[in-house]
Structures are given as C-alpha cells and as structure tokens.
A = this chain, B = another copy of it.
Amino acid sequence: MTLMMAAALWQFDLQAQQALQGGPDLVSPEIHADRKVTIRVHAPDAKEVKVSGEWMPAEGFMPGSALMTRDDKGVWSYTTPDPLAPELYTYAVLVDGYRALDAANPFLQRDVATVTNVFIVDGPQADFYKVNKVPHGSVTKRWYPSPGLGMERRLTVYTPPGYEAGKEKYPVLYLLHGAGGDEEAWMTLGRASQILDNLIAAGKTKPMIVVMPNGNVIQEAAPGEESKGFYKPQFMIPKTMDGTYETHFQDIVKFIESNYRVKADKAHRAIAGLSMGGFHSLHISRLYPNSFDYVGLFSAAILPRRQDAVLPAAYDKMDETLATQMKNGYKLYWIACGKTDFLYKNNLEYREKLDKMGMKYVYRESEGGHTWRNWRVYLTEFTPMLFR
C-alpha cells in the first residue's frame, strides 16, 4: 500500500485494503504458543519459494534455507520443525531464487548492505531485547565537531531514564561497532537501548550514558545519513583500522564530557566494542592508558597492524603501552569470544600475551561465532559489571 491509496482505504474500508495489498492479509511471522514459527508469503506466480533464517544451520558461509509449501491460493508457508529458543531471529525469503523480504513483516534490520526481516521469540535473555513496560531512556542522534578529523560527525547517545529531569552525574560507556557498521548498528542490530532500559529497570545495571560513535573515519555519519547521500554500505571501509580513529578518539570523549552531565574520570569511563570495535577498544584504552577503568573486547578483531596504516605510531610500542595501562591499574578487562569465532585463535594468542605480561583480564567463552547473537549476550553480561 502506498499513501496514494489512502483515498481507497478511507472511503472503501478494509475490504479495499485487502484488494490493494494484492492478496490476503497474511499473518507472518506467526509465533505459536509452542514457540514454533510460521512464515507465509503470497506468491501465486512463483515456481519455488524458500525461507532462509538465522535459526537454520548455515550451509558453508551461506545461511541455510528451506522450501516453503504452496496452497491452492498461492500462499507459501513454512513452519519451523522445532520450537525456537527465545532469541531475536533474522530471515529472508527466496522467490524463484531472488532474495526478497516477507512482505507481511515490516520489521527489518540492515546489516552492512543487507536487509533482513526480524522477529523475537519471547523468553529469558530474549526478553532483554524487547521494549517492555519499564522506564525508557532517550536516544539522540547528534552531531559533534571532530577537529582531529576535520569534520562534523554523527553519533548516537543513550541517556538513562531520569537523565533530563535530574541533576546527577552519570558514568559513560563508549560502545563501538564492527567493520561495516556505524552509529546505528548497536541500536538496531544490538538492541542496545532495550537492553539498557531492561537491565537498569531490573536493578542489574547502573544507570549510565552509552555513546555509540561512528568508527569509520571517512564517514560523517551512517550511509544515507551523511552528505555523500544514498550509497551502498561496504564491509571493508578505508582507514578504519589504520590508527586514525584511535588517535582522534579524544574528540568524542571531550565532546561528551563538555555536553553531558558525566562523571569525567577514569573510574566512570568504560569502552567496549565488537570485532573491529574490540580492536579499537583495545588500542584506545592502551593509547590513553589512564582513561578507562573498564574495557570490553567482544570477539575482538585482534589482527596485526595494517601495512597501510596512516598513523602507524598508534600501533607501535604495544608492549610498553599495555605495561603502562597495567601499571596504572583498572577494574575490569573483559575478553569475550565464541568457540567457533574465526578470530578465536587471535584472541587466544592475545590472552597468552597478556598472561605472559601478567596483565589481568576476565575471559568469557561462549558458544557460537562472530554474531550479533553473541554481542547482545555480551552486552547484557558486561554492563552489570560496570561502575561498581
């Protein structure tokens, strides 16, 4: 339906709506009481329709898929053979081989350049990802000046419930995205504001400000939200791991500490990130070795420094700066990684290095790999440990 058709809807009521939608008003996904899920698409002229969902075993690097069954009205349906564990799931449909979306489900997520449908199966852990009847923080998209990068840039700020009305100062978590992500990623794929709202309401996490910046130094903002217009997001973005971001990170800290009611000291600063953001968190916390009492490396991309690094000095003197960070002290250095993560070995080697130095950390090993499913879990586990 487009709003061009508002006339028809308003004048001819809901029967018109069905006609205009070009088919029956399907419920999809339907989450049954037993936690099985049915997906339905109306595609009478298609030869074959499949569904490809995050709950299916992957086929190599590709997500798995399953055939849907056509009824005599051209509605294709698929029901999961088993109940799904409580979780947020993404999926898409393949209509005669073309990767399409479930037209009955407008809830979508963009991961780099790929859009998928999304649904949540209720239950423990997954309930942290839902909007519940609890006090809600505010989420602001705001622009800040980065003198270091010579541009105005956009970031996302979560302020906890009660921030605006109060006078209290808050601690700050800097929460960094991975390769191909941007200042939207933790909010949409990571469900960060829901997780914070729910954990704060449960008394598990202290009220805090969460700052989600854009880690791609060539961007002002997420693709489509900057002056370059609507261009296709890429996974590999130039200059993301070359020292530039780490070197100028203080522009962000300075902006936040000048513009929000924060406790501007080491004891009230945390930095964490996933994948590339874990790499950034490692290096930023080391380069400013007396700035963060809490560091979180989620499936961190602990990779050798890139040959094309623009500011290679950022990655020099690794051992000395880590030693200084250790000597200055911190409250928590948290390393989390999935057993099947392709970066597992890199994280293992990094832990061995820290062991050798005598640098303390807490290690959390989970099932699974390099996925948002893990990063949402890590966020729910990491934030309760902060600012104690």
Residues of A participating in the B interface, judged by any CB pair closer than 8 Å: 1-11, 13-14, 16-17, 20, 22, 27, 41-49, 54, 58, 61-63, 90, 95-101, 103-108, 110-116, 118-120, 130-133, 135-136, 138-143, 152, 154, 161, 164-165, 178-180, 221, 223-227, 229-230, 232-233, 235-236, 259, 275, 301, 342, 369-372
Contacts and interface: CB of A to CB of B under 8 A. Distances in A.
B227 A131 contact: yes
Contacts of A143: 135-136, 138, 161
B1 A114 contact: yes
B139 A10 contact: no
The 10 closest A-B pairs by CB, nearest first: A100-B100, A7-B342, A45-B97, A43-B98, A140-B140, A136-B143, A138-B142, A8-B61, A95-B98, A46-B96
A224 B154 CA distance: 24
A110 to B, nearest CB: 5
A13 B179 CA distance: 13
12 contacts: A2-B54, A2-B111, A2-B116, A3-B178, A3-B180, A4-B371, A43-B98, A101-B101, A105-B232, A136-B152, A139-B140, A164-B259
A141 B142 contact: no
Number of copies: 2
Contacts of A142: 138, 164
Contacts of A1: 111-114, 235
B61 A7 contact: yes
A9 B275 CA distance: 13
Contact of A232 (B7, B14, B104, B372): B104
Contact of A7 (B90, B106, B370): B370
Contacts of A63: 2, 4
Given A2-B111, A11-B342, 13 more contacts: A1-B111, A4-B370, A8-B61, A9-B179, A16-B61, A17-B235, A43-B98, A46-B97, A47-B47, A95-B100, A106-B110, A135-B152, A136-B154
Given A96-B95, A111-B3, A259-B164, A61 B20 contact: yes
B17 A120 contact: no
Nearest to A233: B106
A97 B131 contact: no
A49 B95 CA distance: 11
A132 B227 contact: yes
A141 B193 CA distance: 11
A17 to B, nearest CB: 7
Contact of A229 (B101, B131, B232): B131
Contacts of A27: 232
A96 B99 contact: no
Contacts of A118: 230
B230 A119 contact: yes
A90 B22 contact: no
Nearest to A48: B45
A382 B4 CA distance: 22
A8 B230 CA distance: 26
A227 B198 CA distance: 12
A46 to B, nearest CB: 5
